[in-house]
Amino acid sequence: MIEKGGELLPIEVKSGATVSRDAIGGLKKWQAISGQMEPRPRLIYGGDETQHRSEVDIIPWYRLASSQKSGVSPRSASIHIRRGETPLPQ
């Protein structure tokens, strides 16, 4: 969890390069228990594609530093963008 602007941002990290429906189960369960639908939970994973599923935003680990939506400042993150990759839109 990251607190941002008085709200909790649920984040889960998975090392796999693919995301199955089971991978987002914990984030969906947190939404059901908390009743909080916004901000959308983030799943950080070892793959290459950004995905926006109905319940969760799925972000490759190397794009995390460029995502202001994630609540992580690019200046403080130790992750860098792969050469030639486009950062997530602000």
Average pLDDT, 10 consecutive residues per value, the chain (90 residues): 82 90 88 86 92 90 66 41 46
Task: Output the pLDDT for position 75.
Answer: 38
Task: Output the pLDDT for position 43.
Answer: 93
Task: Output the pLDDT for position 21.
Answer: 83
Nearest to 62 by CA among 45, 38, 41: 45
Task: Output the pLDDT for position 79.
Answer: 38
- Confirm whether pTM is higher than 0.85: no
Task: Output the pLDDT for position 84.
Answer: 47
Give kind and range of the element (H or E) at residue 3.
strand 2-4
Task: Output the pLDDT for position 22.
Answer: 86
Judge residue 35's burial from the number of C-beta atoms within 10 Å of its C-beta, 0-12 exposed, 13-18 middle, 19 or more buried.
exposed
